[in-house]
Amino acid sequence: MQVLILSDGIPGHFNQSKGVAALLAETMEINESLAIINPRIKLLRSPIKLIARYLTKNLSTLKAKIIISLFQPIDLQKIDLIIAAGGNTAALSAALSFIADIPNIQLGSPRGIHSDNFNAHLTIDRYYETPNNIVLDITPNLYSPKICQEASNHKANENSCLLLVGGKGIGYSYDNSEWEKLIANIITFSAETNSKFTIVTSRRTDPLIESMLQEKLAKYSTEDSIWFHGGGTNANLAELFGNSVQIFVTEDSAMMISEAISSGKNVTTLYPKLIKAPIRYMNHMNKYKHLNLINSQSISEELEKRIDGDNIENINLMREKLRRNILARIQP
């Protein structure tokens, strides 16, 4: 199957599309190509988005052709399936599918575009009462238990932990005292359980907080730790997930959390006192808790060693269910 990934250039959206392609590739041969969408007139990017979305209502051949004309040409020769993520790609994906009669998969909030414009519309929450709107358990991404197991260099033991550190974002704000308490709790946890932490910081991590973590946890962190502002990049997360028994992750990034969950390992999210996140995001976190995909605790609380086993079987069942649901929508 020749798959076209229609991308708006946002890495998170692209990785979601790649994740769906990889899911399908587990049971069929998939060849991917990439097309970055660009409006014909870049200065009119915002009005073009609005016009394109409006034209998807009661989509017709004329409306689809108008939408397509607003963007740089996309080559659909030999394409069997379109996968796209993010609101910026939705209208063009709908129009291309309509004109070329090619099935399409769309990920993310519809931004006012009905799910019936897509063969499979994958969302965390239900937006429309239609079979096309497939509600996800986990946001698709590049990782799976199998990928992480295969990437592991077998450094993992019962005391190997991974800490993914974000920072201020999506209404989450961590103060210095909370980072100090986390450091103290990691030291205590490490001493009590003989654990070592691989620590990975990110673009959102305050450079001063990163320096504090690196300095004060030098004895308790592994040489595989990656300090973003210290020049550490290109983390092989699949390997780090595979090498870890327990994963701790700050709760400010849905993608970071979904990637950790997808490894099948035990995941604990860490939240601050100050949270002003959108209700949809909080529902997202509560859904993960309800499905027993994460434990959630204050970043200031003592860390707990998880001994209740991994989630690999559960994650694999969720992946298989999603694959069946997608194939039921895109195959004749």
CATH classification at residue 79: 3.40.50
- In the chain, the percentage of residues whose pLDDT exceeds 90 is 89
Instruction: Answer for the pair 304, 268: CB distance below 8 angstroms, yes or no.
Output: yes
In this structure, the answer to whether residues 7 and 29 fall within a common structural domain is yes
In a domain, 123, yes or no: yes
Same-domain pairing of 132 and 154 = no
Tell whether the model's pLDDT for residue 27 goes beyond 80. Answer: yes
**What mean pLDDT, rounded, does the chain reach?**
94
- CA angle 34/38/44 to nearest 5° reads 165
Regarding whether 161 and 67 lie in a shared domain, the answer is: no
Query: Last residue of a domain, which of 136, 168, 186?
Result: 136
**Which of 8-12, 185-189, 230-234, 311-315 is the least confident region?**
230-234
Tell me, yes or no, whether 318 lies in a domain: no
Radius of gyration over every alpha carbon of the chain, rounded to an integer in angstroms? 21
DSSP run (H or E) holding 6: strand 2-7
How much is the pLDDT for 5?
98
Residue 312 has pLDDT above 80, yes or no: yes
pLDDT: which is higher, 307 or 189: 189
Any domain includes 237: yes
Give the total number of structural domains in the chain. Answer: 2
**In this structure, are 20 and 151 located in the same domain?**
no
- Percentage of the chain beyond pLDDT 70 is 98
Is residue 106 within 8 A of residue 97, CB to CB? The reply is no
Alpha carbon distance 188, 175 (integer Å):
20
What is the predicted pLDDT for the residue at 155? Answer: 63
**pLDDT band at residue 332 under the 50/70/90 scheme:** confident
Same domain, 55 and 79: yes
Tokens of 30: 């998939």
269 and 213 within one domain: yes
Range of the domain at 210: 145-310
Q: How far apart are the first and last CA of the chain?
A: 14
CATH number at residue 208: 3.40.50.2000
User: What backbone torsions phi and psi does residue 232 show, to the nearest 5 degrees?
Assistant: -80, 120
Which of 136, 165, 192 is a domain's end point?
Answer: 136
Same domain for 125 and 239? Answer: no
Sheet arrangement for strand 196-200: 196-200, 160-164, 246-250, 266-271, 295-298
- For range 315-328, the mean pLDDT: 97
Residue 108 included in any domain: yes
Work out the average pLDDT over 35-62. 92
263 has pLDDT over 70: yes
Q: What single DSSP character describes residue 108?
A: S
pLDDT at residue 156, as a whole number: 63
Q: Which of 136, 156, 171 is the last residue of a domain?
A: 136
Residue 236 lies in a domain: yes
Residue type (1 letter), 71: F
Same domain, residue pair 130 and 167: no
Q: What average pLDDT does the segment 93-101 reach?
A: 97
Same domain, 132 and 153: no
Res 235: pLDDT: 79
Residue at 103 is within a domain:
yes
Q: Which amino acid is at 170?
A: I
In three-state secondary structure terms, 7 is: strand
* Closest to 105 in 3D by CA, of 193, 217, 1, 255: 1
pLDDT at 154 over 80: no
